[in-house]
Structure 1
Amino acid sequence: MSGNTANPRLWEGADLWTAPVATALPTDLADAMSTIPAWKAVGLLSEDGASEARDEDSTDFYAWGGKLIRTKRSKHKRSITVTCLEDNLVVFGLVNPGSTVATSAGVNTRTVKIPKTDKRSFVLELVDGDITRRRHIPQGEVTSVGEVTLSEADMQAFELTITIYPTADDTLYVDYDNDTTNAATP
């Protein structure tokens, strides 16, 4: 059997961080995301993990006789979906962009308004033992929020779908990791 048993990943832990677009990342993977105050964690995430979706149109072109000779790809879209388990100010801001929270005399008042466009940077930080991967999304936006259940039988959770927008050079995201088994050779 060929392959390397050190290559498969089982991400045992994860955090989702958000900050204004163009916020710098820590310069080293050993440095916590929290060393840069603009990065805010969304809090606990569902054990279901995160999922990445791809969507694009494709058109196949055939030569006379039915031989496939080319495929044109367009309208490429990527998104990441994650479920946040905490009802905190960071999650509130992602779920309700443009809304406000005020506190007076120990009472919080959440004024929910029609959502506004709120492009942000995101980092999905994954951990597998000693391996850390930071997926940096320079520009994305929460474009879908799943149904939120309010009951005594189910935990309240916020399923967020983050649409990833390309940068000027068409970069969707950059992964940074310390996985030596997959290091590029000079």
Structure 2
Amino acid sequence: MGTAIPANLTDPMSSATGWSAVGLLSEDGASEARDEDSTDFYAWGGRLIRTKRSKHKRTIKVTALEDNLVVFGLVNPGSTVSTANGVNTRTVKIPKSEKVSFVLELVDGNITRRRHIPMGEVTEVGEVPLSETDLQAFELTITIYPDSNDVLYHDIDNDPQGAVPEPPAGG
């Protein structure tokens, strides 16, 4: 956590130090979900006057298509891998809470978007097929935690449709 990402989209994430790639993700992309409690308050006669919101939770779900050390660490935090004489031994322990930073990079033609999640945690792992006919994929649900200013994540992109008009010169 606290690792900086490139401030522009021309520098690849691979140029940023302190980041490890999860690898290929499913072509289904990522999905974001919101969950919160809300209570409506009404005045006499049934007129809505206020909605109180609480317990806001945001998650992102992705499916990792690679079984590499980064994915192993996210799926099994606190577990270890060792290699001796060409043989890998994975010792899987009961998962411990481990908050880390995430970056999702989405590319659509000439438009690139990076979503930087300063603090998140894999809180759910979907069923993992163990067969010769199915691809071993890891569906990961990442719970996003807000910082002290209630910021969940930052998006940077080069989409001209989302640009804020610059003020006129001299104004």
Bucket of the pairwise TM-score, normalised by the shorter protein? over 0.9
Q: In the alignment, is residue 146 of structure 1 matched against residue 144 of structure 2?
A: no
Counterpart of 2:48 in structure 1 is 68
CA distance in 2, matches of 1:22, 1:77: 21
Q: Which whole-Å deviations, capped at 9, do the CAs of 1:21-57 have from their partners, x for residues lacking one?
A: 0001112211011112311111111111110000000
1:65 deviates by 1.1
* Residue of 100, 105, 111 corresponding to 1:131: 111
Corresponding letter in the other structure for 2:140:
L
CA distance in 2, matches of 1:31, 1:58: 41
1:130 deviates by 1.0
Identity %: 76
1:67 deviates by 1.1
Q: Which runs of 4+ in 1 moved over 2 A?
A: none
1:102-141 equivalences in 2 (<5 Å): 102-141=82-121
Corresponding residue SS for 2:14:
helix
Q: Which whole-Å deviations, capped at 9, do the CAs of 1:92-148 have from their partners, x for residues lacking one?
A: 000000111111111111110111111001011000111110011010000000011
- Tell me which of the two structures has the higher relative contact order, counting C-alpha pairs closer than 8 angstroms and 6 or more residues apart: 1
Query: TM-score with structure 1 length normalisation?
Result: 0.87
User: Mind listing any 5+ residue stretches in structure 1 that lack a counterpart?
Assistant: 1-20
Query: TM-score with structure 2 length normalisation?
Result: 0.95
Corresponding letter in the other structure for 1:169:
N
Corresponding letter in the other structure for 1:41:
A
CA distance in 1, matches of 2:29, 2:106: 10
Q: In the alignment, is residue 162 of structure 1 matched against residue 162 of structure 2?
A: no
1:181 deviates by 2.2
* Residue of 58, 73, 78 corresponding to 1:93: 73
When the two structures are aligned, how many residues end up with a matched partner?
166
Corresponding residue SS for 1:139:
strand
Counterpart of 2:169 in structure 1 is none
CA distance in 1, matches of 2:7, 2:165: 22
User: Mind listing any 5+ residue stretches in structure 2 that lack a counterpart?
Assistant: 167-171
Corresponding letter in the other structure for 1:150:
L
